[in-house]
Amino acid sequence: MNSLVLALVGIAMVLAGYFLYSKYLATRIYRLDPAYATPAHAQRDGVDYVPTNRFVLWGHHFTSVAGAAPIVGPAVAVIWGWLPAFLWVTLGTVFFAGMHDMGALWASVRNKGQSIGTLSGRYIGARGRNLFLVVVFLLLLMVVAAFATVIKNLLVSTPSAVIPVWGAIAVALVIGQMIYRWKVSLLLTTVLGVVALYSLILLGDRYPVVLPESVLGMSPSTFWIVALFLYAGIASLLPVWVLLQPRDYINGVQLFIGLGILYVAVLLATPTVVAPAVNANVPEGTPSLVPLLFVTIACGAISGFHGTVASGTTSKQLDNETDTRFVGYFGAVGEGLLALGAIIAATAGYQTLADWEAVYTAFNAGGVAAFVEGGGAIVNAGLGIPPSLSATILATMAVLFAATTMDTGVRLQRFVVQEAAELAGLRVGKVLGTVIVLAVAMTLTFSAGGDGEGGMLIWPLFGTTNQLLASLTLAIVAVMLLRKRRNPVLVLVPLVFVLAMSVLALVVQLGTFYDAGNWLLLVLDAVILVASLWVAVEAAAAMNRARRGVGAEDEDRDELTPAR
C-alpha cells in the first residue's frame, strides 16, 4: 500500500465530513442560531468569558484537545495492522468525534457556559452528576499527570526541543498583547508568530539544551516535572487572553504547518506502508482488537476529554453560536488528521517489515517514539530536511500538543474541584483549587520515584475512561435533543457503540489487572465501571422522561433567550 493513497483517501473523508455532515448537524440537529446570546457576551468578565475570533478560538480548542493521545493511540494501535486503525480514525472523526464535540459545545453554550459535569445534574440528576464528576476528575488527573511525564521524557530524549518549547510561552505572551491590547491584525500577528516559533525550532536544533546531572538539587527529569507543573498552575490562573488562548492559537497554526510538512513529505516521497493491513502475527500478550482498538485510539476518533474542554473553556469564549461548527467539528477534523499522520508515520516510516517488527515487539512498544522516528524518516526522504531537524520539528509538535492540553487540563480540573466543593457546601477559590489540583497530580507523578514516571501508573485506564465520558456526554446531548423534540438517533448510535466497547474493555482490563496483581488499577477500574454504569442507567431514565415531554418547558424557555 502506497502511503499517499492512504493520506489522500483519509483527508478526503474527514474534509467531506466537515463540508457535508457538519452542515447537516448545524442546521437540522443543533439548529445553530446566529442571534443567540452566547455566554461570552452575556457573562463577559474579561477572565474566563471573553468573546473570541473563531480562528483564534479554534486554535485554542484544537491544541487543547489534541494532546499526545492522538499520536500515542494510533501509533500503538497499528500493531493490529494499519487498516483497523485507519477505518476507526476516519469514520470515527466524521460520524462520532465531530458530532460529539459540536454537541458538547452547543449544550454548554445553551446553558450559560456550564461544564458537562454541571449539566449532568440538570439533565440526568443529582446522583448522576456526583458520579459524573468522579469520572471527569479521574480522567483529568490521568491527562495532567501522564502528559507531564510524556513531555519530560521528550525534553530529556530530544534536547533540541527545549528552546522552542519554552520559547513558545514568550511568543504567546506577546501575541496576546498584539491581539487584545495593540489591536494588530490577526494575519500579521499570525505570520510573525509562526516565524518566531520556527526560528526557535532552528535555534533549538543548533543549540540543544542538555541539563547537568543536578539542577537545584534535582535530577533533570525531576526539574522538568516541577517546572511543567509550576507553569501549568500559573497559566491556569491567568486570564485566558493573556497566555492560554494566544499560546493555543499560535501553536495550532504551527502544528497545522507541521502536519502540512509531514503530508507534503508523504506526497513527494510516497513511502510504502510496510506494516500489514491486518496483522495476523501480533506479539505475545497483545490484547484482542475488539474492544481494545476503540479505547486505544481514543483521541483521534472520539474523546470524552473534548467535551470537557468544549464545555470548560471553549464555550465561554464562543463569539457566535454558529462558530460551533467551525470550532467544534473542524477541531475534531484537525485531530483526526493528526491521528492519520501518526498512522502513516508509524507504518510507512520504516524501510522494511522487519524494521517495523523490530520496533513493535510488544503492545505498547510504539507511541510517540515511533511517530518521531518514522515521521522524521519520511520528512527527510521527502523534503531533504536533515534527520536531526526533522526529529526536532516532530518532537516539538508532540510536546506543544501535550503542553497545551496539560495547562488546559489543570484549569479544567480546578473547575471540577470548585464544583465538588460547592456541592459539599464549601467555597474553594481559584488559587486554593489550583494548589489542590497540583498537589494531587504531582503526588501521583512522583509516586513511582524521583524520575516522575508515576504519571503513567493509571494511564492504562485513560482510553476506557475517556470513551466512557464521551458516551455519557452524548447522553446529555440526547436528553437535550429529546426535550427540544428533535430526533436524537444520530447521537444515540455512537453513544450505544462507544458505551458498549468501553464497558467491555473495562471488564477485560479487570481480568488483566487481577491476573497481574495490580490492585490499584483493579480498584480504580471497578470504581469507574460502577460509576459509569450507574450514570448510564440514570441517563436512560432521563431520556425516557424527556421522550414523554418531562422538562420540555425548560428548553422552550431556553429558546427565548434574548439576542445579543
CATH number of the domain within which 367 lies: 1.20.1740.10
User: Which of these, 544, 509, 561, lies nearest to 291 by C-alpha position?
Assistant: 509
Q: What is the pLDDT of residues 484-502, one digit of tens each?
A: 999 999 999 999 999 999 9
Would you say residue 551 lies in a domain?
yes
Would you say residue 362 lies in a domain?
yes
pTM of the model: 0.87
Would you say residue 564 lies in a domain?
no
Would you say residue 563 lies in a domain?
no
Would you say residue 234 lies in a domain?
yes
Q: Other CB atoms closer than 10 Å to residue 399's CB: what's the count?
A: 26
Give the cell for residue 31.
Answer: 439548529
Average pLDDT over residues 505-523: 90
Per-residue model confidence (pLDDT) at position 559: 58
Per-residue model confidence (pLDDT) at position 127: 76
Q: What is the pLDDT of residues 9-62, one digit of tens each?
A: 999 999 999 999 999 999 999 999 999 999 999 999 988 899 999 999 998 888
Give the cell for residue 235.
Answer: 497559566
Would you say residue 12 lies in a domain?
yes
Per-residue model confidence (pLDDT) at position 452: 79
b/e per residue 506-541 (b: at least 16 CB within 10 A)? bebbeeebeeeebeebbebbeebbebbeebbebbee
Give the cell for residue 93.
Answer: 472523526
Would you say residue 120 lies in a domain?
yes
pLDDT band at 552 (very low <50, low <70, confident <90, very high): low
**DSSP character for 215?**
B
Q: Report the alpha-carbon distance of residue 184 to residue 211 in Å, rounded.
A: 38
Q: Report the alpha-carbon distance of residue 273 to residue 538 in Å, rounded.
A: 46
Would you say residue 389 lies in a domain?
yes
pLDDT band at 563 (very low <50, low <70, confident <90, very high): low
Q: Which domain holds residue 419?
A: 3-558
Number of domains in the chain: 1
